Amino acid sequence: MGIKERGNQMTNLNESRGWEEVDMSAELEKQNVAYEQAHKGDIKISVIKERRPKMRTLKQVNADLDVLRIKAEANHYQLSDGADKAKWGELRAEEEAIREARKQRAHQRATARKDFQAIYDEAQTAGMEAGNKAIPAPMVVQEHSNMMDDKSPVKQEWYVAEGVCGFAWVNVKDRVFGQWLKDMGYGDHDSYYRGVTIWCSQFGQSMQRKEAWAQAFAEVLTKHNIRSYSQSRMD
């Protein structure tokens, strides 16, 4: 049954039941206006994006071009069939589009690397400021006459203003940024924690200053959507 016949049947059924016909044109007009406003940005609605077709690889396109080249060689290096000529033009255009997409991706990677340097510098600056502002808890180190008895007389005593000794580092879990860190010599692959680790080599042996550096450094990376964690260990 066609759409028109189905509509007529429903109209007759409604009349037989005593139902009134409802004019939906006004409601449809409201929906159209809402849709137009949404696309103008007046109203926010969730829209399912159309999926873009996946671009073929250069190897696949060249394989199709080779088929046509073989045909041309068999005919004194000429394509006599109109369909083959049209296909050749389409393939060459597709080949050029793939090469152009590759250039764009290379440019994006180069731009990202410049952004990475700016992010790293921002994180390093924040880390140094935090480390310099940190106030370590002083530590007193004592040497007793009997190393096995803490109640024995103290032979020597040292006051360590920078607090306990230790290490601190930032572990980066972002693959692309991590590779850039290794390429630049800023970080090393971490075989234990995985990812790439940036060690704090500043502030002598003060663990608390190093911790402040690592926390501030990781916060900047997190702000730029780079997954990272600050960690420390007492020496």
**What does the pLDDT look like over 115-126, one tens digit per residue?**
899 999 999 999
pLDDT score of 49: 41
Per the domain annotation, does 84 fall within a domain?
Answer: yes
Q: Which domain holds residue 230?
A: 116-134+164-234
pLDDT score of 228: 92
- Indicate if 80 and 175 belong to the same structural domain: no
> In the chain, pLDDT over 90 holds for what percent of residues?
24
For residues 154 and 113, the model is more confident at: 154
pLDDT score of 217: 95
pLDDT score of 151: 77
Per-chain mean pLDDT for the chain:
77
- Identify the CA nearest to 219 among candidates 132, 127, 116, 115: 127
DSSP H helices, the chain, are 3-17, 25-40, 58-74, 82-133, 175-184, 207-223
- Indicate if 129 and 179 belong to the same structural domain: yes
pLDDT score of 220: 94
pLDDT for residue 130 is more than 80: yes
- Indicate if 173 and 82 belong to the same structural domain: no
Report the domain count for the chain: 3
